[in-house]
């Protein structure tokens, strides 16, 4: 019987996923769920055939340079791979996979929730009630903004962007988007979506902005201080993608000065640290990176990781291999 591959998992995963991993592989689990330090990651890469990291693990070129001779696969538990130096891994003969698709609907749900929460001041209202400050209905109190009839600008029209568009269309928002290239005519017609080649022009004309693009060198601070200033004063910015896409200090300053109306953020530029200004603002809804945090999504992600490992170890091309040129 062939020896089972050594699979090191960096964080605690759902029980059904860990149980299946232990059945199929020589799996080393992290029951404490404490993030690994850089030295611990180096140690893990030194003894593993397969590493299963998450978004909190930075697998950079320095760490990869110290990988052991048996490391052949990094099966990321997550769709984004900005935590991994994929190009360096590729040059060292290490395959990288991810878990696309399975978190699309949940992340799109959270995006819609943040749009509604920011526009309708949901968190502010809940805090008033929970603190005992609700003294009765008033015709001019806690007024938010209607979203029906407003323009939604989606930055990044991949799987998640399209799922957001489907939901937003049902709420009566008109759909606009900026992407590296237009979606197919069929998708554009189905979503009634308008393509904007110029991001600057899109930002200047939208009521709501939703960030749904990956973090790459090309998208770092895509919403820079200059571009944020193009937004209208009543605009809302929502981000369920990656914090690095937005210049967070610039966004915090504009929100504090009332230069834009509000924001709904699930991700941050220096997670888990959050700009202190954002924490003090009443017009911001802040969530702890929970866009894909459903039982179903996390189990599906784990199953994808297992399929990628098993397919790779059986000598076949894993279904979710990440190619450096695609980044």
Which residues are known catalytic residues?
A: 242, 271, 289
Asked if 228 and 247 count as a contact pair (C-beta separation under 8 A), the reply is yes
Q: Dihedral of CA 311/88/41/12: which sign? A: negative
DSSP letter, residue 274: -
Q: How far is 129 from 86, CA to CA, in rounded Å?
A: 48
Residues 213 and 157: their CA atoms lie apart, in Å, by: 7
The residues, ordered by sequence, that sit 6+ positions from 216 with a Cβ below 8 Å of its Cβ are 82, 327
Angstrom distances, CA of residue 127 to CA of 205, 265, 285: 32, 18, 12
CA angle 147, 256, 128 (to 5 degrees): 65
Phi, psi (5° rounding) for residue 26? -85, 85
Contact in structure between 63 and 78 (CB atoms under 8 Å): no
- Distance between CA atoms of residues 316 and 301, nearest Å: 20
Residue with tokens 């938010």: 144
């Amino acid at each position: 019987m062939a020896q089972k591959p050594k699979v090191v998992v960096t964080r605690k995963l759902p029980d059904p996923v860990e149980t299946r991993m232990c059945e199929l592989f020589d799996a080393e689990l992290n029951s404490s769920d404490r993030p690994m330090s850089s030295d611990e990651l180096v140690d893990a890469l030194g003894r593993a055939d397969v590493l299963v990291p998450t978004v909190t693990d930075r697998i950079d070129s320095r760490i990869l340079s110290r990988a052991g001779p048996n490391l052949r696969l990094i099966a990321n538990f997550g769709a984004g791979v900005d935590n991994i130096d994929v190009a360096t891994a590729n040059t060292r003969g290490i395959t990288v996979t991810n878990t696309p698709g399975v978190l699309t609907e949940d992340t799109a749900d959270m995006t819609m929730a943040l749009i509604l929460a920011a526009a309708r001041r949901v968190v502010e209202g809940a805090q008033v009630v929970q603190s005992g400050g609700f003294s009765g209905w008033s015709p001019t109190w806690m007024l938010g903004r209607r979203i029906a009839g407003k323009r939604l600008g989606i930055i990044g029209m991949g799987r998640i962007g399209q799922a957001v568009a489907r939901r937003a269309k049902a709420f009566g928002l008109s759909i606009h988007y900026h992407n590296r290239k237009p979606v197919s005519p069929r998708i554009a017609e189905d979503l009634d979506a308008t393509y904007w080649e110029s991001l600057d022009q899109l930002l200047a004309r939208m009521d709501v902005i939703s960030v749904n693009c990956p973090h790459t060198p090309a998208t770092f601070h895509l919403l820079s201080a200059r571009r944020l200033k193009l937004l209208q004063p009543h605009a809302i910015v929502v981000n369920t993608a990656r914090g690095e896409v937005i210049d967070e200090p610039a966004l915090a300053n504009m929100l504090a000065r009332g230069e834009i109306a509000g924001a709904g953020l699930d991700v941050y530029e220096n997670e888990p640290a959050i700009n202190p200004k954002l924490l003090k603002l009443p017009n911001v809804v802040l969530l702890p990176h929970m866009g894909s945090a459903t039982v179903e999504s996390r189990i599906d992600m784990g199953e994808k990781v297992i399929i990628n490992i098993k397919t790779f170890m059986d000598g076949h091309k894993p279904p979710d291999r990440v190619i450096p040129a695609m980044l």
